[in-house]
Amino acid sequence: MRRFLGLSAAWAAATLVSVLIATAAVGTVRGRVTEAPSRAAGSTASAPTTVPPTPSTSPSLPDTTTTTLDPVTTTAVDPATSTTSTTVEPPTSTSVPDPTPTSTTTPPPPTTTPSTTTSTTTTTTTTTLPTEIRSYDLVGGTVVIAVGPGTTVSFQSASAKSGYEVEVEHRGPSKVEVEFRTEGHRSKFKAEWEHGTLEIEIDEEDDD
């Protein structure tokens, strides 16, 4: 479009220049023709000499150079129909292989071995020997002792007869001593373990 406008402007300028040149040439010719009769009239007034008529000659016009411009070929472009076609290459499709299925194997549950707890109970059996109760009668009273278990002896009781007093000197566990007293008489009881044997002693004494 810009090229077309440029060519049109150049052609119009050339035409205008040609018209101006032609107009200037025509004006020059007209001036010369008008000046010639005026001079002839002056000469006639000053001298009444009959001058043969000068043959009328047409003045020669200067050569006019006409420049013929080649017509500018214009191509009308419809902006609405002007289409810029761009070739778009089709997208390249890459074939992605299907993912390989992954198989997850669940490990078997751990095998639990029942723990066997062995408890050992040690039972100590103590053989308890029966306690033997023994009773001894004296002049002054009665003594009761317990013999066992093992080499033990313990005092249980003492009963004094009328008029006697009782005194317990040892109550065990290895020896028991009891004494009954009254005026003129004394009863003494003694039980003691010696070398694994229980020794029993009873003394009856009169006081002098």
Higher per-residue pLDDT: 192 or 11: 192
pLDDT of residue 42: 45
Structure confidence at residue 128 (pLDDT): 56
For residue 94, pLDDT over 90 is answered with no
Question: What average pLDDT does the chain have?
Answer: 70
pLDDT of residue 50: 46
Identity of the amino acid at 200: I
pLDDT of residue 23: 74
Confidence at 105, pLDDT banded by 50, 70, 90: low
Q: Are 145 and 153 in contact (CB under 8 A)?
A: yes
**How many CA atoms does the CB half-sphere of 83 hold within 13 Å?**
4
Check whether 169 has a pLDDT greater than 70. Answer: yes
Look at 20 and 75; give whichever has higher pLDDT. Answer: 20
More confidently predicted of 208 and 56: 208
**Residue 146 scores a pLDDT above 70:** yes
The predicted structure's pLDDT at residue 101: 57
* 72-87 CB burial, b ≥16 within 10 A, e <16: eeeeeeeeeeeeeeee
Indicate whether 133 pLDDT > 70. Answer: yes
Omega of the bond leading into 149 within 30 degrees of 0 (cis) = yes
Residue 72: band (very low, low, confident or very high) from pLDDT cuts 50, 70, 90:
very low
At residue 68, φ and ψ (nearest 5 deg) are: -95, 120
In 21-174, where do the E strands start and end? 132-137, 141-147, 153-160, 165-171
Looking at residue 161, its pLDDT comes to: 95
Region 168-181 average pLDDT: 95
Angle at 95 between CA 89 and CA 101, to 5 degrees: 160
CA nearest to 174, candidates 144, 143, 159, 195: 195
Q: Which residue has the higher pLDDT, 40 or 65?
A: 65
Q: Which amino acid is at 72?
A: V
Among 45-59, 79-93, 96-110, 185-199, the least confident range? 45-59
Q: Which residue has the higher pLDDT, 32 or 80?
A: 32
Q: What is the pLDDT of residue 14?
A: 79
